[in-house]
Amino acid sequence: MLTLDGLVVEQEGFRLEAGLAVPEGAICALLGPSGAGKSTLLSVIAGFVAPAAGRVSWQGRDLAPLPPGRRPLSILFQDQNLFPHLTVAQNLGLGLRPDLRLSPADHARIDEALARTGLAGLGPRKPGTLSGGQQGRVALARALLRRRPLLLLDEPFSALGPGLKAEMLDLVRGIAAETGTTVLMVSHDPADARRIAPLTILVAEGRALPPAPTAALLDHPPPVLAAYLGK
Amino acid sequence: MMKSLMIAGLLAAAPLAALAEEKPVLTVYTYDSFTADWGPGPAVEKAFEATCDCDLRYVTAGDAAALLSRVLLEGQNTKADVVLGLDTNLTEQALKSGLFAPHGETSARFNLPVAWDDPVFVPYDWGYFAFVYDKTKVKSVPASFEELGKSDLKIVIEDPRSSSPGLGLLMWVKAAYGDRAPEIWKALAHNIVTVAPGWSEAYGLFLKGEADMVLSYTTSPAYHVFAEKDDSKAAAPFREGHYLQIEVAARTATTQQPALADRFLAFMTGPEFQKLIPETNWMYPAVTPAGGLPAEFQALIRPEKALLLPAAEAAALRDKATEEWRAALSQ
Amino acid sequence: MARGPVAIDRGAIWPGLAVLALVLALVLGPLALVLAQAGGAGAITAADWAAVRFTLWQAALSAGLSTVLAVPVARALARRRFAGRAALVTALGAPFILPVIVAVLGLLALFGRAGILGRALTALGLPPVPIYGLQGVLVAHLFLNLPLAVRMILNGWAAIPPERFRLAAALGLAPRDVARLIERPMLRATLPGVALSIFLVCLTSFTVILIMGGGPRATSLGLAIYQAFRLEFALGHAASLAALQLALGLAATGAGLMVLRPAAFGAGRGLASLAPPADPKWLARIADALAIALLALFLALPVGLAALAGLAHLPGLEAEVLRAGARSMVIALAASALATAGALLAGQAIAHLPARSGRLADAAAMLALGVSPLVIGTGAFLAIRPFADPVRLALPVTLLANALMAFPFALRILAPDLAALRADYGRLSQSLGLTGRARLRLVTLPRLRRPLAFAAGLSAALSMGDLGVITLFSDPAQATLPALLYQRMGQYRMDEAYGISALLMGLSFGLFWAFDRMGRKDADA
């Protein structure tokens, strides 16, 4: 279980409070108007931004002392998820050993992950030669290899067309189900939430509310969400 | 057991130590071009070691000023037995430090244009400052500072704040003209193309053709005759006389080898050392060797009057003279 | 993303802070030792203050002129493509890395009384170019620094994302609009850094000011320090003056950084994938061609003349000179490695520190530009003597001093790219636990190939030119090439000196070119 306990985030002219828990294995969307702090909240959980108060814990363990790379999570950003000068296989390899001193067994696992994400045979290519969808799959394959119990998605697929995006979300759902991964996903499209996230955290007016069932929330939105959804 | 081993070791080492001690070491501090392959250093070392049964070791600094700096910094702890290469602009500072001791060398009869009876510093070579020009280019040669100031000739001089020849020129004008020095400098202002940081830069500019004359030494033309078979360079004799630069050596007050150091100073004024000087340092030897001077030195001008302010007086004058120079040339 | 209370990546910071601490120790340590030896500071005289005024005045003029004149040339180079452009961009490093005396003699071979222009004017019955005086100081400083300013600004142009120009083209913006909307903000960000760097370089100028200055009106703080050390043996006075020089450098850096973070010396991206739109009007074409041609001539003639003067004497050089050349190469490569590695670590720390502390660290690093070789040399002598024979350590001291001198330049080159790297890939690296040596090997080195090569090449070439700090304990048996050059000049052997300077130029530029070339070998994306 991911717990945000009396969390306060402060940045120049911006404040966000959060007190909530996300059950293990859940897929949970973060919805809310832009600028509400959805990405910032993920940054705090991932360890890039230090909270002004409160704590983030996973299975009861405070994450504060851990640097981002040691936290039990993987994160996919909006862009720059891959190093353009490294091959696809090397980019995946970073998920296993950040120093890239890979054993034959590691290479086998990389090939396996490539196959699982529909990228078989693309290992030697550089990311620049791949399509947007393929790049997203590489990033997901790496998250798969890292086997961290928590996956944070900061709109990594927002640049993809609707069809491709749906495909990627389904891939996320499949992988999460297989591995029991807990997923937190920032989105500004309610359809994304409906598609794979049974739970939704509403981030608005300086607060992140505890997760609520997505369908109910979207069918009967509170006023702030209604305004955002244009209802 | 341990003790006897140590004693055995000491006994074994003793003959070696005695062997090393057999030859006393004489440490001579000097500037680095003295010890360069083509400088007098290597031949001097060989010749002196052949007579002294000692080990002569050079320790070098970049130039005369760096040499004195080093000795001053080391103070009482200096390893130098002899310091060779100070010039008359530096001796006052050296003397005041108390780091140098009177020498025992007295027998030499110096061929200097001035009487020399300094108890501490022993000269090994000397030269006159002079303006050097190209005979093929300069037709009417000035015979004094006043004539130079009236001419349209362009000259390069050295800065007295950064170089020994520059300071020498300052003292030359002061020694020749006294209180009229500012007036002379004002008259020279339009002749001066530029003021170089040191002799090398000034002479380089002159050879490149940037000026008609350069402040150098009366002996400079000899180099061009000897090394380049070029007799076009000459020094202009000045009526008011020429200022001297004398290069000296001295033994330190802290030397553990006073006798050997004195022996070196005596050797320095002897023929073997002195005959090396003209064609390595391009200065006059302090004691003319029996065979006389090399051919290329014969044609050089010999000024009739030599100028040299006593070291203490020159040192006392320096700040005022520099300020006069600066003020006159800054207008 | 605003820089809020961000979790600090300590692993990226402490090695760089250690480097900065070492740099500060190397800058301030010798000064403290000299002060201690002197038993206190000496008073600064009225003549010293006059020197300070002229020093500041000429440095400000040199920096301003170089910067202003560099803009049209850089713009012309940025928007025109022609044969030999890449070679010209590389050659822009040449004057900066020449030993000063060689550069000055080269300039005089063009502008001097006996130079090409001077003789031509005399033949026409005209007076020679009045090259000696403040104008001469400025011409020499322009010659030494303008090319570098052009290259820095050119890199600013190259760093504008091609998308901006594409957008401008799509909107049909005229060159005037492009200048206003895209180029002016870039210049606003770049120029203060360019001007500051040149100001700092000219602040410690000494030989140029004396030779080109034409008389005691043109004087400098550097000369005052030299005088105090070498003619007066007044260590306290020398230490005060050296501290004043450092303080002036620090004040200038502070003021410069307040205006803006200094932009890069640039990453050597001479060949951007998309050039800014070339103004098709014939007037603009002529202006651009003229700007490029004038710069090329202004560079090539003195450098060529200086090289020519020595070329004939190259075959006659003795084995001793060649050995000194090899020695200088080794020192240059080692100093370059030290300076570049140090700058990489320091730059990384600066990029990862909160903005304000980053600037402070940056300013501290620039202090190394204000050091006096005499203070470093004397300090090193005082530091080593109680423990060892300084002569034995002459070469290591030279190496360290050269690395220290090259360090701020390497840092200026690397800092902006390190900041960009952090912005682009910092979080990704952190999220993957990619830190320390692995990050250096897998991300930093491959991504920063070009600026690293440029920094290493410039550092190596600068080190070939030598700082000459070891006059107190120089050993002719281990002389470096610049030391031999001066030694030969001091012994009438001008021809040999010219030969040595040609060799020195060849080696310096060869090193610079080889590194630059290495950086251009294209890494993917």
| Cα–Cα distance measured from residue C264 to residue C347, given in angstroms and rounded to the nearest whole number | 12
| Cα–Cα distance measured from residue C120 to residue A105, given in angstroms and rounded to the nearest whole number | 77
Q: Which of C309, C325, C354 is the last residue of a domain?
A: C309
For the segment B213-217, the average pLDDT, to the nearest whole number, is 97
In a domain, C1, yes or no: no
Nearest-CA residue of chain A relative to C449?
A: A85
Q: Are C365 and C346 in contact (CB under 8 A)?
A: yes
Which residues, other chains included, contact C496 with Cβ-Cβ below 8 Å and sequence gap of 6+? Answer: C313, C316, C317, C321, C488
| Cα–Cα distance measured from residue C179 to residue C244, given in angstroms and rounded to the nearest whole number | 41
What number of C-beta contacts closer than 8 Å exist between B and C?
A: 155
Q: Measuring CA to CA, how many Å separate A226 from each of A188, A200, A219, C455?
A: 13, 14, 10, 56
- Res B17 pLDDT > 60: no
Q: Which residues of C touch A74 (CB under 8 A)?
A: 431
Q: What confidence score (pLDDT) does residue B230 get?
A: 94
CB contact under 8 A, B33 and C487: yes
In a domain, C187, yes or no: yes
In a domain, B297, yes or no: no
Cα-based torsion angle of the residue sequence B19, B23, B29, B34 in order, rounded to the nearest 10 degrees? -110
DSSP label at residue A78: S
Co-location of B208 and B250 in the same domain:
no
Q: Which of C281, C309, C337 is the last residue of a domain?
A: C309
How many other C-beta atoms are found inside a 10 Å radius of the C-beta of residue A85?
A: 19
Q: Which residues of B touch C306 (CB under 8 A)?
A: none
Of C109, C227, C474, the CB nearest to B61: C474
Each residue's pLDDT tens digit in chain C (525 positions)?
333 445 567 777 889 999 999 999 999 999 999 999 988 888 888 889 989 999 999 999 999 999 999 999 999 998 888 888 888 888 887 787 777 888 888 899 888 888 888 888 888 888 888 889 899 999 999 999 998 889 888 877 877 777 777 777 777 777 777 788 788 888 887 888 888 889 988 998 888 888 898 888 888 898 899 888 888 889 999 999 999 999 999 898 888 777 755 443 333 333 334 556 667 778 888 989 999 999 888 888 888 888 888 888 888 888 889 999 999 999 999 999 999 999 999 999 988 888 778 888 888 888 888 888 889 999 999 999 888 888 888 889 999 999 999 999 899 888 878 888 888 888 888 888 888 888 888 988 888 888 899 899 989 988 887 767 888 888 878 888 888 888 888 888 888 888 998 899 889 889 988 998 888 765 444
In a domain, B173, yes or no: yes
Of C109, C212, C474, the CB nearest to B60: C474
**What's the sign of the alpha-carbon dihedral C251, C255, C261, C262?**
negative
Does an H or E element contain C33, and which? Answer: helix C10-38
C-alpha atoms less than 13 angstroms from C-alpha of C316 in its C-beta half-sphere: 11
Tokens of C422: 């952090």
Co-location of C90 and C220 in the same domain:
yes
Q: Which residues of A touch C2 (CB under 8 A)?
A: 11-12
Q: What is the pLDDT of residues B94-137, one digit of tens each?
A: 999 999 999 986 677 899 999 998 999 999 999 999 999 999 99
Q: What confidence score (pLDDT) does residue C4 get?
A: 40
φ/ψ of residue B216, rounded to 5: -145, -135
Q: What is the pLDDT of residues B281-319, one digit of tens each?
A: 999 999 998 888 999 999 999 999 999 999 999 999 998
Of C5, C6, C428, the CB nearest to A77: C428
Q: Which domain holds residue B23?
A: 18-126+245-288
CATH of the domain at C414: 1.10.3720.10
> Which residues lie across from A199 on neighbouring strands?
A28, A213
Quote the minimal CA–CA distance from C208 to chain B in Å: 9
Quote the minimal CA–CA distance from C414 to chain A in Å: 19
Co-location of C77 and C213 in the same domain:
yes
Q: What confidence score (pLDDT) does residue B105 get?
A: 64
Co-location of C23 and C86 in the same domain:
no
Tokens of B307: 């100028």
CATH of the domain at B93: 3.40.190.10
Cα-based torsion angle of the residue sequence B109, B112, B115, B118 in order, rounded to the nearest 10 degrees? -70
Co-location of C168 and C203 in the same domain:
yes
Co-location of C214 and C265 in the same domain:
yes
- Res B219 pLDDT > 90: yes
Q: Which domain holds residue C295?
A: 45-309
| Cα–Cα distance measured from residue C307 to residue C392, given in angstroms and rounded to the nearest whole number | 33
Q: Are C329 and C399 in contact (CB under 8 A)?
A: no
Which residues, other chains included, contact C222 with Cβ-Cβ below 8 Å and sequence gap of 6+? Answer: C55, C204, C205, C206, C209, C245, C372
Nearest-CA residue of chain A relative to C425?
A: A80
Nearest to B65 by CA among B119, B29, B100: B29
Co-location of C210 and C339 in the same domain:
no
Q: Which residues of B touch C487 (CB under 8 A)?
A: 32-33, 36
Q: Which residues of A touch C437 (CB under 8 A)?
A: 99
Report ipTM for this prediction.
0.85
Kindly tell me whether chain B and chain A come into contact, counting contact as 3+ Cβ pairs under 8 Å.
no
Whole-structure pTM value: 0.85
CB contact under 8 A, C432 and A86: no
Q: What confidence score (pLDDT) does residue B47 get?
A: 94
Interface subset of B 184-203, CB within 8 angstroms of C: 189, 192-201, 203
Nearest-CA residue of chain B relative to C214?
A: B194
Which residues, other chains included, contact C230 with Cβ-Cβ below 8 Å and sequence gap of 6+? Answer: B65, B66, B69, B162, C374
Nearest-CA residue of chain A relative to C424?
A: A80
**Ordered DSSP codes for C151-203:** HHHHHHHHTS-HHHHHHHHHTT--HHHHIIIIIHHHHHHHHHHHHHHHHHHHH
Co-location of B85 and B151 in the same domain:
no
Of C4, C433, C524, the CB nearest to A49: C4
Q: Does B222 touch chain C (CB under 8 A)?
A: no
Co-location of B220 and B260 in the same domain:
no
How many other C-beta atoms are found inside a 10 Å radius of the C-beta of residue C363?
A: 19
Tokens of C244: 């004043």
CB contact under 8 A, A81 and C525: no
Nearest to C469 by CA among B158, A80, B69, B186: B69
Q: Which residues of C touch A100 (CB under 8 A)?
A: 438, 442
Q: Which residues of B touch C215 (CB under 8 A)?
A: 189, 192, 194-195, 329-330
- The number of folded domains in chain B is 2
**Ordered DSSP codes for B95-147:** HHTT-EE-----------SS----SS-EEEEEEEEEEEEETTT--S--SSHHH
Helix axes B199-207, C100-111, angle to 10 degrees: 30
Quote the minimal CA–CA distance from C408 to chain A in Å: 28
Q: What confidence score (pLDDT) does residue B20 get?
A: 52
For the segment B176-190, the average pLDDT, to the nearest whole number, is 95
Quote the minimal CA–CA distance from C454 to chain A in Å: 19
Nearest-CA residue of chain C relative to B283?
A: C491
In a domain, C434, yes or no: yes
Q: Measuring CA to CA, how many Å separate C495 from each of B137, C475, C487, C498, C500?
A: 21, 23, 12, 5, 9
Q: Are C223 and C209 in contact (CB under 8 A)?
A: yes
Rounded to 5 degrees, what angle do the CA atoms C140, C144, C147 make?
A: 125
Domains identified in chain A and CATH numbers: 2-72+148-229 (3.40.50.300), 81-142 (no CATH)
